[in-house]
Structure 1
Amino acid sequence: MQFIKQLGRQLGFVVLIGSAIFSASSASAVTSVIITTNTDVLFDPAYVRTLFTSNPTQVDLLLLGGVHFAPNSTQVDIDQALGTQTYNPFQNTYGNLKPVGGTFDPVQISTITLGGVQGTLLRGVYRATNSPPLSLGLTSASPNPPSLSFGGSTGDGIVCPYPSCVVLHYGYTIKVDSSLSLNPSFLQSTYTLRDSGGTVQNLTQNTPIASPQVDLNPPQLGVKNPAQYLVVYSEQINPQRPGVRVINWTQFPVLQGQTPKLSFSNSKSNPTIRVSNVQALRTNSKIPLNQLNYIGLPLTTRGFQRIPRANGTLEPGQNTRPVDVQSSPVDVPTRDIKIQIGS
């Protein structure tokens, strides 16, 4: 795998998360397009127990969501008037989760310098609001125990790489100002857990994410209704913290006749990230956000195309070399898509 250093180029950037829009004031020269993304977070409960001094058998999920960093972005505005699709982990049944009260936090925006690069940091997180909270068992004897055991899968999907697995999930819509490339500028996935026992202790873990980027040729300028869509799937892990794994699905709009180039970028402020099992699916219709996951994704025998040249280990500030995604679009009838599981 060959890599190139990440360039500090200007990035017009808009993110829709929950009911908020972030828009770059210089966006008039480019076209805004919608990207949808869902993220699965798997963790080894035995590993998480070691991070608490109390070694708990049960924890409460308090917060779950994503962090984005747009390098060198211009002024960012918020428009509360436009709503958007979300996948709220506190109001959907998925893996370990059960429907309980939760809401999208007021969006946090700040201009900071990360890894020597100045940019805009955006946090899109869901927070528990109801009592009793959403409790996750960390042992098989606990209430709401881990949903997977080693080698087991949820529905038609997740394969557990640990002795047991807790599964978390969230999703939202991202809007980016597009010229030659589409990049959601992922930085991290974050969650906060609280010891459910007598010791009150919170644990926040930030798991780095390498951001998929789709370069379009010819440029996708002035397009409001893209004819096709490209779903990019990846499995990611920080080798220094192997007890947590991120699985990401990101759906990009493309045009008929375009040959997208796919790469991944790692922020200079992130640790090393290993990206594996990269796959892509080109469709003639958009997959709804609430189906862009293992449980809801339709099945098909033609399925996703593996892209092994997009796999690799990214050091801080590295990009993978762009790879052509040569695939024919498929029609997506209800529950007619299949992905190949495993790294």
Structure 2
Amino acid sequence: MQLIKPFRKLVVSVLLIGSSIFSVSSAIAQESSVESRILVNVDVIYPVNYLKEEFKKISSNPTQADVVQIGGQLNFSTIPDIQAIRFSRSFIYDPFANDYYNNRNVGGSDFNYSDQASTSNPFLSATFTERKGNPPLTLSFNSSGSNPPALAYNGTSCKDNDGCVLMHYGYSEEITSRNALTPSLFKTILKLRDNNGNLVSMINAMATPIVTSSSGGVTQYLIAYHEQSDPANNGVLMGVWTEIPVASGISSNSMLLQKQLKDIVQNQSQSPRLSYSNSSNSKITISNTRYFLSSTQIPLDQLSRTSLPPTDSRFMPLPNADGTISPGETTKPVIIAQTQSAKKAMTWVINNKVDVNGETYVQARYDSKTNPYSGDTSVDQTLSLLCIRKSPELTSNPIPEIAKGTTYTNSWSGGEVFAIPEVVGNSLLSEQNADNKCQEEGQKRYSLSGFRMAEFHDGIQPSGFGFYAKSTDPNLSISNVRYWVKINDQNANPWSK
């Protein structure tokens, strides 16, 4: 990884009032501006022993602690192309709102953000704070606690024999810019409270990715992942996911950007470029940089629930972007190859609905479009995800006169199904990731465990092709709706190579 000199700063001031944003900058900065949405998810992995040492500094030795606040701070002054930033409350991932790894209901939180910035203090904060009266997000510091460390020692990112805990948060930024897009990450903030009421605050410096792309309309979304650590902060690791809209082609206004960022975009090709900037006072090491390009925006809120780094084969390694960045430095941009995935995955339909004795049953099955061998629908498409939960009581009591198991598509599944609408195929990064989506939504809707993504062979007849199941979900439709369904012996899944 090569380094270049820090960017020349463009002085701007931003004031956030309600849902409106006002920007004061030069006339040149106003020219050819566009607003882009950048999605950010951050996973901060703390070794348990590191957390214990932080509490020992205040003469505390707790066995567990509650999360009081978590989030990040931005510094938008380091990139001259950024004119304004605001946070979107409609697209955030609240770490307190959902069940944690042990399916423990932890209530909800308040999303707080700083409402103004100036040239002398160009920082904006986005933090999640526990809501008083709701169950706290409690982290145990030993394996026998009620909420043990989330990551085992053999996890891909934990380097502590006693395990690690993973803090996850995310938000959306609305960026007013010309061509160089960045979430302007500056540092993470974590505040913990032990059982005696002692508070410990931890701050970790962050490098921020910068994507330079030609203007002229969004054609793809760059989903980038990297891990970063402070060499002086042994054991603490951050997995950072960003989703940034990019365009191909060079616009007539690109010369303005080239003058201001000539080290970045001189002789720019049609492909976007990725670099990292460090505006902190600490060295930061970037590693495991990976990316893939999608023609549709993909929700990021569940990307890191199972493993770090991402194991999906569509994430391409970008080792030239890795390295250690000193304070005030920016890495030399690395070209992102613009390739369009032709990957397809298998889909089914709901072919029939039947009411029997006051209960509703649906027939999920293949149709003339279904291809269980290589897939039939581009994973860039947004469809519904079909989820199933099998149970002994349903298996032993098949519905009468409907699914006798005499034909494949009429087979009884012994289960109940529902659908999660508006799921982009690309967002199903692994079988476990897809099953987790069903599990979490099933818990939320029905307070039941055991849901997973429906599978081609879920009928009692082992050859598959279709099944009947019980359902109370009004989202299941027999009219022009297709559903993502996995298959366990072919490469027709969204995550298959």
The two structures have a TM-score, normalised by structure 1, of 0.82
Question: Is 1:245 matched with 2:237?
Answer: yes
The one-letter code of the counterpart of 1:5 is K
Q: Which residue of 2 aligns with 1:37?
A: 40
Deviations 1:148-201 (A, max 9, x none): 21113xxxxx542322010110000011122121011110011100112x3x31
TM alignment of 1:2-21, pairs within 5 A: 2-10=2-10
- Structure 1 position 6, deviation (Å): 1.2
- Structure 1 position 71, deviation (Å): 1.4
Equivalent pair of 1:15/1:176 in contact (CA under 8 Å): no
Equivalent pair of 1:23/1:77 in contact (CA under 8 Å): no
Q: Which residue of 2 aligns with 1:265?
A: 277
The 1:238–1:102 alpha-carbon spacing in structure 2 relative to 1, beyond 3 Å, is: same
Q: Mind listing any 5+ residue stretches in structure 2 that lack a counterpart? A: 250-269, 342-378, 381-424, 431-497
Q: Which residue of 2 aligns with 1:171?
A: 170
Q: Which residue of 1 aligns with 2:190?
A: 191
Q: Which residue of 2 aligns with 1:115?
A: none
Distance (whole Å) between structure 2 residues aligned to residue 20 and residue 244 of structure 1: 35
- Structure 1 position 123, deviation (Å): 0.6
- Structure 1 position 246, deviation (Å): 0.7
Distance (whole Å) between structure 1 residues aligned to residue 340 and residue 15 of structure 2: 27
Q: Which residue of 2 aligns with 1:220?
A: 215
Aligned match for 1:99, one of 90, 101, 106: 106
Once the two structures are overlaid, the 10-residue window that deviates more, 69-78 or 3-12, is 69-78
- Matched residues, percent identical? 32
Question: Is 1:66 matched with 2:72?
Answer: yes
Aligned match for 1:127, one of 116, 126, 129: 129
Aligned match for 1:305, one of 300, 303, 316: 316
- As a proportion of its length, which structure holds more helix? 2
Deviations 1:210-255 (A, max 9, x none): 1000011xx315x3xx221001100010111123211100001012
Distance (whole Å) between structure 2 residues aligned to residue 78 and residue 159 of structure 1: 31
The 1:93–1:295 alpha-carbon spacing in structure 2 relative to 1, beyond 3 Å, is: farther
The two structures have a TM-score, normalised by structure 2, of 0.58
Aligned match for 1:162, one of 154, 160, 163: 160
The structure with the larger Rg is 2
Q: Which residue of 2 aligns with 1:337?
A: 429
For 1:85, what is the secondary structure of its paired residue?
strand
Aligned match for 1:230, one of 197, 222, 230: 222
Aligned match for 2:200, one of 183, 200, 203: 203
Q: Mind listing any 5+ residue stretches in structure 1 that lack a counterpart? A: 113-117, 153-157, 339-343
The 1:174–1:335 alpha-carbon spacing in structure 2 relative to 1, beyond 3 Å, is: closer
The one-letter code of the counterpart of 2:199 is N
For 2:90, what is the secondary structure of its paired residue?
coil
The 1:256–1:236 alpha-carbon spacing in structure 2 relative to 1, beyond 3 Å, is: same
- Structure 1 position 314, deviation (Å): 0.5
Q: Specify which structure has the bigger relative contact order, considering alpha-carbon pairs within 8 angstroms and separated by 6 or more residues.
A: 1
The 1:20–1:191 alpha-carbon spacing in structure 2 relative to 1, beyond 3 Å, is: farther
For 1:290, what is the secondary structure of its paired residue?
coil
The 1:253–1:106 alpha-carbon spacing in structure 2 relative to 1, beyond 3 Å, is: closer
- Structure 1 position 4, deviation (Å): 1.1
- Structure 1 position 293, deviation (Å): 3.2
For 2:320, what is the secondary structure of its paired residue?
helix
Distance (whole Å) between structure 2 residues aligned to residue 141 and residue 44 of structure 1: 16
The one-letter code of the counterpart of 1:120 is P
Distance (whole Å) between structure 2 residues aligned to residue 322 and residue 59 of structure 1: 41
Question: Is 1:89 matched with 2:95?
Answer: yes
Equivalent pair of 2:15/2:23 in contact (CA under 8 Å): no
The one-letter code of the counterpart of 2:95 is P
Distance (whole Å) between structure 1 residues aligned to residue 192 and residue 21 of structure 2: 28
Distance (whole Å) between structure 2 residues aligned to residue 138 and residue 208 of structure 1: 24
